[in-house]
A and B are shown apart, each in its own frame.
Chain A
C-alpha cells in the first residue's frame, strides 16, 4: 500500500533560519505529491504540489522537488518567518486509488523571533 513518512517534530527555529522537512513516500503507482499546511486553529491549506518526477512545486518561498529516484519530496524554505509556525503535512494522491490522499504524520514547526 501507499505510505508517507516525514520527519517528526517539533522543529524549532529562529527567524530567518533555513528550514528543511524531509518526506519520503512509498507508492504502487505514479502519485502526485503535496505539502499541506495547517495554521493554529485552522483547516488544511494546500502549500504546493508536484504531479510528476522532477517537477518542482513552489509557493510563499517554500519549494519541494519530486524525486522519483529517491522517492522523496523534501520541503525547504531559505528564510523562515514567525508566521510560518504551523504543522506541515506531506501527502500523496494515487490516481489508481481514486485520488485518495495518504498523509504523513505531520511536522510541527515553531519559529521564534
Chain B
C-alpha cells in the first residue's frame, strides 16, 4: 500500500506559537491532500482539501487564516496551526487523494498536538 508520513508525530507547544505539520507521500504523487482533525474519542472531521499549486478549500467553520495549508509539490503538503491555543489540541491526520472512484484512501500516522 501507499506510504504516507507525517512529521512531527507529536508536538507540545506554548499558547500563541505556531506549529507546522508536514505530510509526505513517499511512493506516489498526490495532487490533492485531505487534512482531518480528530478530537479524543471522536470521529475524524475534514478540515480542508489542499491542491497542488493552488489555494486550499476549507470546510465550513474552519478558519483559513488559522490553519494555513501549503501544497508546494506532489509529495509534500503542510499544515501550519498559527497562534495555537489549547482548544487546538487535537490529532491531525493527512490523507492523499488519488482521484479515482473507490480508490483506497491512505492516511498518515497522525500528529498529536498539545497546546499548553
List chain A positions with a Cβ less than 8 A from chain B: 32, 34, 36, 42-46, 49, 51, 89, 93, 95, 98-106, 108
Contacts and interface: CB of A to CB of B under 8 A. Distances in A.
Interface stretch (B41-49, B61-69, B70-78, B79-87): B41-49
Interface residues of B, number: 26
B109 A43 contact: yes
A93 B42 CA distance: 19
A1 B61 CA distance: 16
B101 A101 contact: no
Given A43-B110, A101-B34, A89 B49 contact: no
Nearest to A6: B43
B105 A34 contact: yes
B43 A104 contact: yes
B32 interface: yes
Nearest to A104: B43
9 contacts: A32-B101, A36-B107, A46-B1, A98-B32, A98-B97, A99-B98, A103-B45, A105-B42, A105-B43
B21 interface: no
B46 A101 contact: yes
A98 B102 contact: no
Contact of B49 (A36, A95, A98): A98
A29 to B, nearest CB: 10
Which one of A45, A46, A99 has the highest number of Cβ atoms from chain B below 10 Å of its Cβ?
A99
B44 A44 contact: yes
Contacts of A34: 104-105
B69 to A, nearest CB: 15
A103 B102 contact: no
A43 B108 contact: yes
Given A43-B108, A98-B97, A103-B45, 19 more contacts: A43-B93, A43-B107, A43-B109, A44-B107, A46-B1, A89-B44, A93-B101, A95-B101, A99-B97, A99-B98, A99-B99, A99-B100, A99-B103, A100-B34, A100-B49, A101-B34, A102-B46, A105-B43, A108-B41
B93 A44 contact: yes
